[in-house]
Amino acid sequence: MTDDFKILLEFFAGDVDEVAGRNAPAIPAELRDKIAKFASGNCTDEERTEMKKLLQERPQLVPALVAETKAIRQPPE
For residues 60 and 19, give the distance between their C-alpha atoms in angstroms, rounded to a whole number: 9
Query: Is residue 42 included in any domain, yes or no?
Result: yes
Under the banding of pLDDT at 50, 70 and 90, the label for residue 4 is: low
Query: Is residue 67 included in any domain, yes or no?
Result: yes
Count how many domains the chain has: 1
Using an 8 Å Cβ cutoff, are 64 and 11 in contact? no
The domain of 45 spans 3-20+31-73
Query: Is residue 61 included in any domain, yes or no?
Result: yes
Query: Is residue 26 included in any domain, yes or no?
Result: no
Query: Is residue 25 included in any domain, yes or no?
Result: no
Q: pLDDT tens across 19-62, in order?
A: 445 555 689 999 999 999 999 999 999 999 999 999 999 999 99
- Residue 59: partners with Cβ closer than 8 Å, 6 or more residues away: 7
